[in-house]
Structure 1
Amino acid sequence: MLENPRSPRVRAVAKLAKKPARVESGLFLLEGPQAVSEALRFRPELVVELFATPSALDRHDGIRRAAAEAGLTVEFVTEQVLESMADTVTPQGFVAVCRQFPTALKDVFASGPKLVAILEEVRDPGNAGTIVRAADAAGADAVVFSGRAVDLYNPKVVRSSTGSIFHVPVAVGASLEDVLERARAAGLVVLAADVKGDDLLDVRNAGVLAGPTAWLFGNEARGLLDEQLALADRAVTVPIYGHAESMNLATAASVCLYESAFAQRS
């Protein structure tokens, strides 16, 4: 059992909370039983190390079995060691180290996608992870982080996705121009979510959402710049019927993605 929270091995894991260590190693942190379960279920080959407190493993026999099936040895650690490794205050008994696995942009559009979410310079980790989760729930074929978007493997992005990064392909690091060129070549209509756009209800009633669609979502603070909006086929706004001043980006993205999912399945 690992008992020393200041040991080199523990420190090496803890460093993965910072981007330079992730870039250098090609690894990232995974915390909590839900995320670990999804990794073991969908991409067990990515899990390099798995740490757990004995009591946590006793409560989650499914993780024990999945780790054994994947040929992984669960390393027991103390609560103090786990807290030193994790990015959160309460990692809920599990921390894993995984290999990064971004999808190549060409592969995203080579598969004939019908619904893609593009995050242009989305910087808030919670928003980014929640949009990945919403895209997964809505049955989207892929998510693309373009421009200076937050790091996909930021611990807060990973946590907010609640395991969805293991379900839906995610491409990173591309320029918006390249992404949209590939999207159009694959037959997708590009809809930009923007407060100056057409009402979402009107767009839905016009039948626009029934076809293959790439939704473009911009930065939380300033949205999409005029030159970025000009690259889209159409701007669309989610109407606010009550008195709210605005809508959180992840919430608006969830609405847009589900409207497309409904239209494509109707």
Structure 2
Amino acid sequence: MTETVTSLQNSAVKLAAALQQKKRREESGLFVVEGVRLCEELLASGWEIEFGLFTESAASQERAAQLIQEAGRRCRMTQVSEAVLAKAAETEQPQGVLFAARQVVVPINQLLSAENQMFVVVDGVQDPGNLGTILRTADAAGADAVIVTAGSTDPFSGKALRASMGSIFHLPLAVGICHADLLTAFGQAKVRLFATALEAASCYLEADFRGSLAVVFGNEGKGVSTELLAHADRNLFIPIYGQAESLNVAAAAAVILYEAARQRRG
């Protein structure tokens, strides 16, 4: 019979709970993944898993039990009470299993080793749901990597992870990149820079998205930073035909990235 941890003072439980805070994620390089589907995506990705927590109820379900058994070959799995898992988890109704894993981020120069790549740059986006959705869209549209600039929300937060639906495990990711380093790297690799903007911009349907390219999507309120706009090879806008002021940044990313995908695969 498997012993069930009921103490909130258990070291793994305390660490998992602490990783809800961005500061602790940055200090440790770890993050928490919750739920059967996301944990399956993590396991399939090959990313390093530090430990896992699960409940007796989850272990009695076939799909979760298979996940727990497979994960047990790679890391320490600890059965905990429902109350303890609720403390360790971020979601209000956890699915009975969570993993703590090590973040995988790539230096920007390593991303630029091949030609004719398409990069998605997330510049100052603050809503984790928007960031996660952009990650998911970038993955679906065939982007080669996602670059998150300094000052953006954390892609390893629980809400961003859930919004990405596992796409964070599929794409190379650079995080916390300052504008100067980004522009230097793109300049050296001869990557064209397209930025979404409302002024001095042309319709995205007129742009040529082929070749080595980065498309920048900016902050929900302020848009793309003035520094990146000043160095953009082309500014893009999406025409609005109704009375809406603009599109949500994640919706705009979907529109533009799928036009890019159409051209690049045409």
Provide the TM-score with structure 2 as the length reference. 0.90
Query: Deviations for 1:154-193, whole angstroms, at most 9, x for unmatched residues?
Result: 2222222121111101101221232133224323221101
The verdict on how the C-alpha distance between 1:92 and 1:184 changes in structure 2, with shifts beyond 3 A counting, is: same
Q: How many residues align?
A: 260
Matches within 5 A, 1:1-266: 1-44=4-47, 46-57=48-59, 58-60=61-63, 61-68=65-72, 70-112=73-115, 114-196=117-199, 197-203=201-207, 208-266=208-266
Residue 50 of structure 2 aligns to which amino acid in structure 1? V
Matched residues in 2 for 1:5 and 1:126: separation? 29
Would the aligned equivalents of 1:213 and 1:260 in 2 still touch at CA under 8 Å?
A: no
Provide the TM-score with structure 1 as the length reference. 0.90
Runs of 4+ in 1 over 6 A off after TM superposition: none
The verdict on how the C-alpha distance between 1:2 and 1:113 changes in structure 2, with shifts beyond 3 A counting, is: farther
Query: Deviations for 1:213-249, whole angstroms, at most 9, x for unmatched residues?
Result: 2001111111124343111100001222233222111
Which ranges in structure 2 are unaligned for 5 or more consecutive residues? none
- SS in structure 1 of the partner of residue 219 of structure 2: coil
Greater helix share, structure number: 1
- Paired-residue identity, %: 37
Query: Deviations for 1:118-155, whole angstroms, at most 9, x for unmatched residues?
Result: 11111211111111111111111101111311123222
Would the aligned equivalents of 1:145 and 1:171 in 2 still touch at CA under 8 Å?
A: yes
Matched residues in 1 for 2:82 and 2:173: separation? 33
Matched residues in 2 for 1:136 and 1:178: separation? 24
Would the aligned equivalents of 1:133 and 1:164 in 2 still touch at CA under 8 Å?
A: yes
**RMSD value over aligned CA atoms?**
1.8
Matched residues in 1 for 2:157 and 2:172: separation? 17
